[in-house]
Structure 1
Amino acid sequence: MLPTSVAFVILSGLIQNNVWACTVINDYQLHDEAKLHDDLLSNYKSEFRPVKDHKTTVTVKVRFALKYISFDSLEETITLHSWLAITWKDEFLHWTPSDCGDIKEIQMESHEIWTPRLSLFNADPTAYQSDTIYSTCLVNSDGTVTCVPHLSHTGICRTQLRNWPYDVQVCSLFFGAWMHTGEQINFTFYKTKPVVLDDYQNGPGWKLLNVSNERLPGYYGCCPNSTYPMLKYTFRMEREAAGPAAIVIIPSIVIILLTLSSLLLDIKDNTRLCLACFSLFSHFIFLTEIGYDIPKHSADTPIILLFIRDSMIITLTAILETLFLMYLRSRTVPAYTWVVSLNRLVSNGPGKYVVFTEFDPSDVTDRKSLSEDIAGTVANEDRNRVTSDWIQFANILNTCIFIISFIVYLILVCVYIPKDS
């Protein structure tokens, strides 16, 4: 074994003879575009507006290329997904192309230069939304800067549910500078196509009808010498109501038929009372189903709820009327004078063609049984009249209730049943 000193001498000789040599050659040279990038940002201050005179206004052009819109009617919020194209002129980012390798445009990261902050004024406070742009921007030799970031904005939109489920929602989003005045940063639209819908896709359950844009000058009494302009975008959307209509409109018609059908049945049969009670129970089930789809705290009441409210009153009236008619049919005392007079007036006039009789084959048996109960007190003719008078009065009352219910339902269908416009 060699001594330590000898081994060290041998190892040193090997290194000197380049046996374990590692040489790194770094001959990196900046090209013209990199040099231009460094020169432009050498003394650049991204915290301040890119103007040489502080009185100069920076005009920022805005264009939305919509990709997707989702609307939540329960939370009353609208979310806009889009590519936002913004263009302005930076007085500190310009050069002569012939002096810089004939370079006419370069790319810069948005955090390296000044970028405008476009804020959504009616934003949803529960969702964090930054007004800072994070994107790669294109800078031209004349100082024009264009950035196209992909952004998502969630705003508050009060729902209009009166014609639900065939409702049309109109939502507006307001954009502008949060702290700068219009004399410092002037937000405006592109002259051509301020809103692009070429690649737009409809969100679930909603169809976008149109988009309109408007620039609000922003004059306020508190600040007569300054303006705070805003860009207003209005979105008009229509609910795709094929599914909700099948759940709401068709059951509404069925409920009408159930209630009216119960009024046509004989009161001697308990089926009439059961059918009317089932119709009333169906109203409650119907309300529960609609409650899952309608915002609980919306100030705008859907007219379909008003229809169900009035329909419940009619159905409850039909149940009470059935119980009252059952009471009339069981009466054994002679009818009142005004009841007899009303019966004669209807039977001798054109009203007899309107009143429909109940098909009750047990009427004769009922009369015979009643005749035996009151035998010896009145004559045979009077006994039959006791029952017939009350039966005739019950038929008149039932016919009136049916006609009134039919007319009321016809009005409710015309006024309260929503229609697809």
Structure 2
Amino acid sequence: MDLSALDTKGLQLLHAIAQENVEDFSAQMEQETDVESGKFKQLAEYLLNSSIWEGTVLAEIEKRQKEKLNFSVEDLFVHAGQYDKFVSVEFYRNSDAFAKYGESVNGMIVYGRKQRKDLTGSILVENYERNDGIILFNSKVKDQELNWQLKTEGFLASEVCSISTFTEDPNEVVYRKPGKREIPNTITIPFDFEGFELPVMENQQTSWKFKKNTKVLSHELTRYFTNELIMGKDIPEAIKLEFLYDDTGSQFKEDVLIQFYGYGYEKQLLDQNQKNLLNKLLKSRADRREGLLKGDLSISNKRFEQFKLDFPDAYRQTRAAFLKFTDETLSENETQHPVYWDEERFVHIYGRHYVDHFINMSTYKGTHFQYSFKDIRRLLCLVLKSLEDEIEAALSSGRNYNKYGDQGYYFDGNYYTLKIDADGRLMTFFPMS
């Protein structure tokens, strides 16, 4: 058979068949007890011929691989990487990648910030330079160790025999695309809140954590025992002292009172004095957070008052966000080292990277999220979910978790900096450009 008439894809298939025959004949020979029998000798002849044929085909594959770089780092970026496409990569059967990862892998090619920037510039030339190099890959394989090797060690571009992408995926470059964005693949499901009891639902979720023996944070316990009060349950004094009272040891914390009276307000259970108290507490909370914002960005009282006059809608939006925010766990229930943010970090992230007006009033010049207010939290949770194994590994060993610079997290056309303290406190999260 003239192997030169076959393309590389055909050679790969032919080698797979030959290899399968070798394995099949070897298995049959192991079943034969009489090595002098005619059947055994016939199988031995088949095995020899198949082995020779397998070696011949493999030699032709190796020859072609050496003669021509089928895919360069730049080629892979042109066809798939620049579009963030889901791609299936088939390896040469004689390659180390084949031995390590198998016949093929499916997923997305991973690029550092600098590499993506450099490749974006290099392919602008029609006859761009083609180079071999390491390709890092985010696969969807269930084997986590294998997936980690693909992300950190990868494979050579010269080991790639062929690639295929979904034709439905658009050839659209989203990297550094300006304008507002929506999180891809979002499905909105309507929810009827009538008859919905938030205290009951929240405490069910916390109870699940108790049963699974996963870590429950202090702010979660405060909300849990406040909900118990709302539902009319008796709370031991020791629990009140630890989770519900302020530093005086006799007065409820601000968050407890807002949660308690907030529920009463929603259910139309408050008298006027209680409503006045709730309004006073909410004003105090919002004023304090405005103070954090001005301090974080070094904005004077005079300039902030001018902002309120010049941008009343933006100010009302800011005030509403400051009123509603409560310390919150951002990780899923199963984690042993949950990530959370408190009001200081929320104000820091919101003030520096969401509303342009604050940046314009400050000496600090930051980058801006391209998403709506509600989508920023969703984006953050998606990033935390994607990195949960890395974060868990760092926090469980008492280390901070940092992802920034060239190793920033890439999502939907931008790279993000993420920093988390060793205790799980989110320190910062923002787009790098």
- TM over 0.5, yes or no? no
Greater fraction of residues in strand:
1
Range class of TM-score, shorter chain = under 0.3
Please give the TM-score of this superposition, normalised by the length of structure 1: 0.21
Please give the TM-score of this superposition, normalised by the length of structure 2: 0.20
Larger of the two Rg values belongs to structure: 1
Highest relative contact order (Cα 8 Å, sep 6+), 1 or 2? 1
Greater fraction of residues in helix:
2
